[in-house]
Structure 1
Amino acid sequence: MSSPRSAQSKEQRMVSRSFLYPLLVFLFMVTTFPGLYSFWISLTDMQIRTSGSGRFIGLSNYLEILSPGSLFLNSLGKTALFVVIALPLQFILGYAVAKIFALAGHLRGTAFLRTVYLLPVMITPLSVGLFWSYLLNPLLGLVNYILSIFHLPPQTWLATPGQALAALIGIYLWQWTPFVAMLVLAGLLGISKEIYESSEVDGAHWWNRVLQIDLPLLKKVLSVAVILSVVQIIQTFDLVLATTNGGPGTSTMVSGFAVYRDAFKYFQTGKGAAESIVIMALTVILSQIFAKYVLKED
C-alpha cells in the first residue's frame, strides 16, 4: 500500500508532466519540425513556380552549392570577410562607448543619451537600409553634400564594389555597435570600483586596466556578444536588399542574401533550403567551438 507522501509525489509528477508535454509539442512544431522539413526540401528539386517539382534528388543541391566557384561559396567568403572586418571594429567601438558611459554615469542626461544611442537597434534592418540608401545617394544624399562642403568629389558609395561592401559594414556598425556597447556597459557597471582604485594605487596605466581588469572580467559578456554578432551577420539579408541588392555584381552577396535570392527571387526552394542548412550547420559548429575553447572555465 502506497504512503500518502508517495501518492502526493506521483500526483505532482503527473501535474508537472501535464504542463511539460504541451510545451515540448509546441517546441517541436516551431523548431524541430521546420528544421527537419527544410532538410527534406533540400534533398529535392522543389521549385515554387514549377509543377511536378519536389522529386528526391539526394545531395545534388549540396554538391551544386558547394562546388568550386559557386555563387554560394563566394557568398560565404563575403560573409567571412564581413565578419573579419566588422567584428573587431564593432567591439572596439562598443567598448569605447561603454567605457565613456560608465565613466560619465554620474552626469545628468547620461541615461537619456544611452536610450538615444540604443535607438538604431530598435529599427528594422530594412528601414535602416532604406534610410542609409537615401543618405548615400550619389546625387541627393547628405553624405556627398557634406563632402562637397569640404570641396571633396562625390562618391558612388553603393555602386562601386569596394565602397559598397565598406558602406554596408559601416551601416551595420551604426546599427549594431550600440547593442555591444550596452552589453559591455552592463558588465562594466558590475565590476567593483575597489578593483580600479587598487590598480590606481599600484600605478597601473589605463591600458593595463583594460587588459588586466576589464577584458578578463568581461570575458563571458564579450563571448556572448561575439556569438550573437556573428549570427546576426550571417543572417543579414534585409539590409543588403534595401541598399545594394547584392551588387554591384556579387560584391555584397553575403550568405543570407544568397539564400533569399535563390529561394524567393528565383524560386529554387530546394537549393535555398540546402544553403540554409549549410549556414545553420556552420553557425552551430562555430558556436560550439567558440563555447568550448573560449567560454570554458579557466
Structure 2
Amino acid sequence: MPLNLPDKLPAIELLKRENIFVIDNSRATRQDIRPLKIVILNLMPLKITTETDLVRLLSNTPLQIEISFMKIKSHTPKNTPIEHMKAFYTDFELMRNEKYDGMIITGAPVEQMDFEEVGYWNEITEIFDWARTHVTSTLYICWAAQAGLYHHYGVAKYPLEKKMFGIFEHHTLQPLHPIFRGFDDVFYVPHSRHTEVRREDILKVKELTLLSESDESGVYMVMARGGREFFVTGHSEYSPLTLDTEYRRDLGKGLPIDMPKNYYRDNDPEKGVLVRWRGHANLLFTNWLNYFVYQETPYNINEIGE
C-alpha cells in the first residue's frame, strides 16, 4: 500500500524516482481504509533530507500510512526554507489534542550541550510526556534517544573522547524479539555522535530492556513499556552519502574529524561508499510498524492512552 503524504512534499518526487509508491492527500482521501497515523518530530537541521530518509523506510510495508510533521514553537530552523516549514509542519500546540498510532523523534545537533541548556528542552519534554498518552509506540533516534532515556528514566549521557563516526557491527541480545524479525546475527548501523549512554546505567533501570549493542559503538537499542518506547542511538535511516557529506563538510571547515570507519570501499573516499545497513534499516522500521504499531494500536484511534 502507498504512503499518504502532504500534497507537494519534496520527498514525493524524489522517492518516485526510486520507484517507491507514494500518494498525496488528495488521492488518499478517495481510498476507504483506516491508515496508520504517524507523526514525525523532525529536529535535524536539513529537514527535507531527513524527511526523505524516513519516508523511504516507512514505505517498505503493505500498510497505508498517513504522515504528519510536527515542529516545536521555541526553535526556528536555520537550514530549511520558512516556506517549507509553513507548508508541511504544524506546531505541537495545534496537534496536542490528536492521537497517533506511531511517532518518530529524530536526532538534533545539540548533543554536546547539557539537556537543560537546550533552548527547547521544556517544550520537547512536554512532547515526550504527551506521547505516552497520545501515541501507541514512539521511536526515539540518536539525540532524542539519549534525551528520552534521561527525561523518563534518569539515564545520563557521557562525552566521548572522539566522535563515534562510521558504520559499526552490532548484535542482538534477544534474537527472537519481534523487532529483530529477519535480522542477521550481525548487522551494521551508521553512527555520528559525540556522546553515549552506557550499558551499566541501562541495566540498573528495571523498566528498561537492552536489546542490542556493539562491541565498538556500545548501546544501540533499548526498549521500555513493552514496546511503547524504543530508544535507538544510531542512524539506521541515513542514506548512503550522509556520512560522506558530514565528513567533507567538516574537512572543509578545518574541524578535527577522522574518516568514517568501515564506510568507504578499501577506506578510500575516492572509491565510494560500501552500503551495508540498508537491509537492516528496512527491517527495523517494518518490524516496528507491524509488531508495535499496527498490531498494538486500537482501530478507534481515540482509544489510544485510555
Give the TM-score normalised by structure 2: 0.22
Larger-gyration structure (1/2): 1
TM-score, structure 1 length as denominator? 0.23
**Higher RCO, Cα 8 Å, sep 6+:** 1
Greater strand percent: which structure?
Answer: 2
